[in-house]
Structure 1
């Protein structure tokens, strides 16, 4: 399902431009427009799910596809061997601002602590 009020659904539909770096039948990976690291790629399921928790419950196989795409992106971007961070923000308190499940592949720099103190 694609929802017209979701920017990521519009990217999947080709209505909103994005710099796509990897695509499968079920997932799409594209560069973040406000990168937080030298490598910052968003990985989304093409089907709309509000967050990664909802995705995992509704379609565990698709959740696995998202993880496999994240690994493929890390390899293609040259950060798999040195290490990368894969972040899923869930809900407003978790820092999610686009309510379509998505993971951030971050790499190319040593990352700091996961949560600032």
Structure 2
């Protein structure tokens, strides 16, 4: 059962925020590996506080998440020279594909040749709309 509300009861990421050892931490936010990674090194950045989506983050949480994204990007590039790009993604709301209703930002390392034609990137969330 998925919790579509803004209540933290049974929130998978609220639980994770208190039980997982984060890969990195920045003030109000932590990062940890995605349980179902799209590519090697796929990370999630979440606020420690329960916030159902990106639009419910405070200014401080947005600032900390952004700083963490930059730091993790630099770490990944330093450790893995095969990474040549990144997708950064946030699903907001059930109809946008959000399945865990605690804000989480995907940082997905990309490598040359990891898909046939990467043109359009995140536009691919709607079939047939990636190419333009």
TM-score relative to the length of structure 2: 0.73
- The residue number in structure 1 matching 2:99 is 97
Tell me by how many angstroms 1:11 deviates.
1.1
**Which consecutive unaligned segments of at least 5 residues does structure 1 have?**
none
Moved over 3 A (4+): none
RMSD: 2.2
Matched, 1:8 2:8: no
- The residue number in structure 2 matching 1:26 is 28
User: Matched residue of 2:102: which SS?
Assistant: coil
**Which consecutive unaligned segments of at least 5 residues does structure 2 have?**
1-6
- The residue number in structure 2 matching 1:48 is 50
How many residues in Structure 1 have an aligned counterpart in Structure 2? 110
TM-score relative to the length of structure 1: 0.82
Tell me by how many angstroms 1:4 deviates.
4.2
Query: Which deviates the most, 96-105 or 67-76?
Result: 67-76
How far apart, in 2, do the equivalents of 1:37 and 1:21 lie?
16
Would the aligned equivalents of 1:49 and 1:101 in 2 still touch at CA under 8 Å?
A: yes
* 83, 86, 94: which one aligns with 2:85: 83
Q: Point out the structure with max Rg over C-alpha.
A: 2
